[in-house]
Structure formats: C-alpha cells, structure tokens
C-alpha cells in the first residue's frame, strides 16, 4: 500500500513525497486508516517496524483537519492536544524528530518533555501552548504536580513501547497520567510484547480497539546472520576485542545487562585502541546525547549500552551487534539484534554466552524458534560450556553426542597456541550444521532461518 492511498491533506502528502515515503510497512498499512478515523488502536509491533510513523501521521492529519497546514484550533496555554508517552529520553527525542519532520510547513507545534535537563524551557513551551507533547512519565508527572501542564484537553494519547514501561517500573506512573485524561479521547497503544500487566492496562485505556499485529514478521530480523560463542566469563573481554577487530567493524553496539559493566567494557576497549563510549541510565542527558552524536558521526566506533538506553538508538549503518551479556528477557534479544540490518542493509549479531547464562540462551532460542549457529572454530570457544549447554537443551533419551570437545585437546575448544581448531560449527543443541566459513560463519542453520526480506518503504522508528 502506498502512502498516497491514505488520503492525507495535500500539505502532508507533499511532506511525505519530499521525505521519500512511498510504500507503507505492515504496521503502517494496518494502523494508519483506523487511527486517522479516530479509532482506538492496539498494535503489537517490534522496534524497526515503522510504528512511529504509524501513530504520528494520523495525529498530524487529525490536528490539521484541512489542506492549509493550520491546526483546527489553537492549543490553550499548558493544555496540549495530543500526548505521546515514551519510556526513555532517547526514544522521546527520536519521536520528536519524526513529529518535526511531518509538521514541517505547518503551524502545528510540539515539545519534548523529559528529565535530566533544565525544565524551564519545557515549562515555557507549555505556557505558549503546544499541539503535541512527547514526554517521559517521570518529568510529565513532575510538571503536572507543579501545575505547568494539564491533560484535560488531550484528544489523542499514545503509549509507545508499553512493555519497556513495565520493565522500567513506569506502569503506576502511567496509570496516574491516564487518570488525568478526559474520558472522551482517542487512545493508541504500541508494544512489542503483551505481558499480562500490559494487557490489563490496554483494556483500561482502549475502547473497541482495532488490533494490529506484526510480531511474526518482526521477530525474525532482516538479513541478520546470528552467531553464538561459548566463552568463559574471564575471557569475554578478549573475545569481544577479537570479534570487533577481526571483522573490522565500522560501527557496532555492544549490549550489557548493567551500567557498571557497560562502563567497564567501554574503558577496556578504549584502553586497547578501540574507540568506545557507554550509554546507560546513570549518564546525564547531555552525556547521553554526546555519546549518540559521536557514534552517529563515526567519532567512536563502538557504543556499549544497556537495554534501557538502547531503545532510542536509531542509526541505519550499524554493521554488528554483540551481546556481551545475554538479556534476562528473551524478547530483549530480538530488540537488540534489530539495531543492525536496518533500511534494507545486512548485519551480524554475536552472542557471548558463559556457563551462568545457559538458561537465558535456552529461553532466547525458544523465543525465536531456532537454534543459533555456534562458532566452534573460534579461538575462544569453550567446549565444556558448549557441552553443558547441549545437555541443558537435549530432550530426554536424545543423542548424547555433540556440543563437547570432539576434536580432542584440552577440552575447552581452544588450542594452546591461540590458533583456530579445525572444527565443524554446531548449534547450541549439539547438532552439526555443516562446514564453517572464516570468522565462524556457517552456510546453513539459524543464520539463514532467521532472515527475512526488509519491508518496503522508509522507516522512522
């Protein structure tokens, strides 16, 4: 479906044409017509599916209501007409950029409201009157308590990345915000996954919603080769350096579970001549924006990030994602690797798994419905951990071979001189997938199973 079929105003159609929007992605195709008609929407869509445009375009269309680019009415001071809630400052900033793009040439105003920065400019913007507020829950509640913003004039509310709101403990704040909204409103709800508490919140927010789901398409990221390296915890940092240098990565994201580990890994990489910076919730907003800018400009080649900080990273030419530590939630794995292979490009995702993370690995492979190719010929491959993983995933009475040190040697899959062993790559359940290529790639298996063709059209997500 083309964007011209949505019957937007001439002003908005001209903006879409100028920005190169031609074909809608699945979530845009299914959500935009309902949202433009004022219906409530419940959408399950992964990051990278084009969902930001799926809710921003209908908001702009409804606020304009004509072809002259003017809003249907001026917003009152401190009373925004549309509210978009996002879990992180980075994601709020990304959404604000999309809103800015689609409102170019119109008189529709917007402001982004988040913590970590001086609130005075935000208060001033609200006082002037804005059509669209893009906010994180904490700062918005602060301004509500101070009387700087009132929500009784909100016509449309969007909750973006609701599952991440749940992970970050924002659901009670979100409920307080919703209680301040008028009953007669349009509500749109976007979430990559729908755990029970998120479903309950959706039922409270929405009235007869149009259901949109593109989970199946999004769960298998486009053109991403996925590889698994079993490695001891003590050797992870050295294995990471080798992955970054042997592939000559131009721009890579390394994921950790904690902010402490993100700082530690970034320092280690810089110490060994690999330019890196860390991104996590403890950094000031200015420091986070500086890190993202340097990463985008190529001044640093590696960004070491936690999951909380990762949702606002939208850089199209990331060629490599490395899971230094496996996420606790298997859905986060899909979000992480979706940072590469964007805008039709290919990419690679590597996961370093130590003996304490085998359960996380099992949950991830259950989530994606496939096993991930093991880089058994890599110098840092640990055969003992691979054997433990094979035992953990082997069905009762199954084949007892595979996953261990089949080639002899010291039992950890590494030769004493640091060279590569002549091994066949296996998957995490101990099955052989064929002769490997250099760098640990295999010709078949999950690296191919998890590919899909990119959806047409430009994505703003």
pLDDT at 365: 92
H/E element, 145:
helix 137-145
Pick the residue with more confidence: 197 or 181? 181
Q: Are residues 202 and 118 in the same domain?
A: yes
pLDDT at 57: 95
Range with the lowest mean pLDDT among 14-23, 30-39, 154-163?
14-23
**What gap in Å lies between CA 168 and CA 57, rounded to an integer?**
27
Asked if the model's pLDDT at residue 430 lies above 60, the reply is no
Q: Which whole-number Å values give the CA distances from 10 to 16, 58, 67, 106, in the listed order?
A: 10, 14, 6, 11
**What gap in Å lies between CA 447 and CA 75, rounded to an integer?**
51
**What gap in Å lies between CA 310 and CA 335, rounded to an integer?**
9
8 Å CB contact between 116 and 138: no
- Average pLDDT value over all residues in the chain: 80
Backbone angles phi and psi of 17, in degrees to 5? -65, -45
Beta strands 110-113 and 347-353 are: unpaired
Pick the residue with more confidence: 149 or 14? 149
150 lies in which domain range?
3-217
Classify burial at 416, counting beta carbons within 10 Å of its beta carbon; exposed 0-12, middle 13-18, buried 19 or more: exposed
Q: Are residues 129 and 224 in the same domain?
A: no
pLDDT at 450: 34
Q: Are residues 130 and 56 in the same domain?
A: yes
Q: Are residues 212 and 320 in the same domain?
A: no
Reduced to 3 states, what is the DSSP secondary structure of residue 44?
Answer: strand
pLDDT at 86: 94
Choose from 25-29, 177-181, 198-202 the range with maximum mean pLDDT. Answer: 177-181
Residue with tokens 């950790």: 256
Q: Starting from the edge strand earliest in sequence, which strands make up the sheet with 276-279, in order? A: 276-279, 302-305, 252-255, 320-323, 347-353, 224-230, 373-374
pLDDT tens digits for range 373-428: 999 999 999 999 999 999 886 544 443 333 333 333 333 433 333 333 333 334 44
pLDDT at 79: 97
Strands (E), 283-335: 302-305, 320-323
Q: Are residues 388 and 441 in the same domain?
A: yes
8 Å CB contact between 113 and 140: yes
8 Å CB contact between 52 and 101: no
pLDDT at 76: 94
Q: Within its chain, how far is the Cα of 35 from the centroid?
A: 23
Asked if the model's pLDDT at residue 345 lies above 50, the reply is yes
Asked if residue 287 is part of any domain, the answer here is: no
Range with the lowest mean pLDDT among 101-115, 121-135, 145-159, 215-229?
215-229
Percentage of residues in the chain with pLDDT exceeding 70?
78
Reduced to 3 states, what is the DSSP secondary structure of residue 279?
Answer: strand
Report the sign of the C-alpha dihedral through residues 240, 246, 247, 249, in that order: positive
pLDDT at 312: 58
Backbone angles phi and psi of 459, in degrees to 5? -115, 140
Q: Are residues 346 and 231 in the same domain?
A: yes
Angle at 376 between CA 371 and CA 381, to 5 degrees: 110
pLDDT (mean) for 129-143: 96
**What gap in Å lies between CA 385 and CA 377, rounded to an integer?**
14
pLDDT at 451: 32
Last residue of a domain, one of 217, 239, 259: 217
Classify burial at 121, counting beta carbons within 10 Å of its beta carbon; exposed 0-12, middle 13-18, buried 19 or more: exposed
Name the residue among 156, 165, 104 with its Cα closest to residue 132.
Answer: 156
Asked if the model's pLDDT at residue 221 lies above 60, the reply is no
Asked if residue 386 is part of any domain, the answer here is: yes
Asked if the model's pLDDT at residue 347 lies above 90, the reply is no
Tally the C-alpha atoms within 13 A of residue 215's C-alpha that lie toward its C-beta: 14
pLDDT at 187: 96
pLDDT at 403: 36
Reduced to 3 states, what is the DSSP secondary structure of residue 26?
Answer: helix
Asked if the model's pLDDT at residue 120 lies above 80, the reply is yes
Asked if the model's pLDDT at residue 80 lies above 70, the reply is yes
pLDDT at 406: 32
- Report DSSP letters for 162-194, one per residue: HHHHHHTT-HHHHHHHHHTS-SS-EEEEEESS-
Asked if the model's pLDDT at residue 304 lies above 90, the reply is yes
CATH number at 86 reads 3.40.50.300
Asked if the model's pLDDT at residue 363 lies above 80, the reply is yes
pLDDT (mean) for 49-74: 82
pLDDT (mean) for 21-31: 89
Count, in order, helices (H) and strands (E) of the chain: 18, 14
pLDDT at 69: 58
pLDDT at 314: 67
Q: Are residues 111 and 132 in the same domain?
A: yes
**What gap in Å lies between CA 92 and CA 101, rounded to an integer?**
14
pLDDT tens digits for range 305-342: 988 656 656 676 788 999 999 998 887 888 888 888 76
Q: Are residues 81 and 182 in the same domain?
A: yes
Beta strands 252-255 and 276-279 are: unpaired
Alpha helices in 20-119 (DSSP H): 26-36, 51-64, 89-102
pLDDT at 235: 96
Q: Give me the number of domains the chain comprises.
A: 2
Asked if residue 202 is part of any domain, the answer here is: yes
Q: Are residues 184 and 228 in the same domain?
A: no
Q: How many CB atoms within 10 Å of residue 34?
A: 18
Q: Are residues 120 and 240 in the same domain?
A: no
Q: Are residues 427 and 357 in the same domain?
A: yes
**What gap in Å lies between CA 162 and CA 181, rounded to an integer?**
18
pLDDT tens digits for range 238-265: 999 999 988 777 789 999 998 899 999 9
Last residue of a domain, one of 166, 194, 217: 217
Q: Are residues 326 and 207 in the same domain?
A: no
Asked if the model's pLDDT at residue 152 lies above 60, the reply is yes
pLDDT (mean) for 165-192: 90
Pick the residue with more confidence: 71 or 200? 200
Asked if residue 260 is part of any domain, the answer here is: no
pLDDT at 192: 79
pLDDT (mean) for 72-77: 87
pLDDT (mean) for 114-141: 95
CATH number at 404 reads 3.40.50
């Amino acid at each position: 479906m083309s964007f011209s079929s949505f019957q937007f105003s001439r002003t908005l159609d001209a903006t879409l044409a100028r920005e190169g929007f031609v074909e809608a992605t699945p979530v845009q195709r299914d959500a935009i017509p309902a949202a433009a008609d004022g219906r409530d929407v419940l959408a399950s869509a992964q990051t990278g599916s084009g969902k930001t445009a799926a809710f921003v375009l209908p908001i702009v269309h409804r606020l304009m209501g004509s072809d002259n680019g003017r809003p249907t009415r001026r917003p009152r001071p401190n009373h925004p007409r549309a509210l978009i809630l996002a879990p992180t400052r980075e994601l709020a900033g990304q959404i604000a950029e999309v809103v800015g793009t689609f409102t170019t040439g119109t008189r529709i105003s917007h402001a982004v409201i988040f913590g970590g920065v001086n609130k005075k400019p935000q208060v001033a913007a609200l006082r002037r009157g804005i059509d669209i507020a893009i906010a994180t829950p904490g700062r918005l509640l602060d301004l509500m308590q101070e009387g700087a913003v009132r929500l009784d004039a909100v016509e449309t509310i969007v909750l973006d990345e609701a599952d991440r709101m749940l992970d970050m403990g924002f659901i009670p704040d979100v409920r307080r915000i919703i209680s301040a909204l008028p009953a007669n409103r349009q509500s749109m709800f976007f979430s990559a996954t729908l755990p029970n508490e998120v479903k309950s919140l959706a039922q409270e927010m929405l009235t007869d919603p149009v259901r949109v789901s593109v989970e199946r398409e999004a769960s298998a990221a486009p053109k991403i080769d996925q590889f698994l390296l079993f490695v001891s915890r003590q050797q992870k940092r050295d294995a990471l350096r080798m992955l970054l240098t042997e592939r000559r990565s131009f721009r890579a994201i390394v994921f950790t579970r904690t902010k402490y580990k993100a700082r530690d890994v970034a320092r280690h990489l810089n110490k060994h001549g690999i330019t890196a910076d860390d991104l996590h919730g403890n950094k000031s907003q200015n420091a986070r924006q500086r890190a993202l800018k340097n990463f985008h400009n190529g001044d640093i080649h590696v960004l070491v990030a936690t999951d909380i900080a990762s949702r606002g990273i939208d850089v199209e030419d990331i060629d490599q994602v490395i899971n230094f530590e496996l996420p606790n939630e298997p859905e986060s794995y899909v979000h992480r690797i979706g940072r590469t292979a964007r805008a039709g490009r290919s990419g690679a995702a590597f996961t370093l798994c130590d003996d304490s993370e085998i359960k996380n690995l099992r949950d991830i492979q259950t989530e994606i419905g496939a096993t991930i190719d093991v880089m058994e010929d890599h110098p840092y491959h640990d055969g003992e951990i691979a054997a433990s993983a094979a035992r953990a995933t082997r069905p009762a009475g199954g084949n007892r071979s595979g996953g261990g040190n089949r080639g002899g040697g010291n039992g950890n899959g590494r030769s004493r001189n640091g060279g590569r062993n002549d091994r066949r790559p296996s998957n995490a359940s101990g099955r052989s997938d064929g002769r490997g290529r250099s760098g640990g790639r295999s010709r078949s298996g999950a690296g191919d199973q998890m590919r899909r063709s990119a959806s047409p059209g430009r994505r703003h997500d």
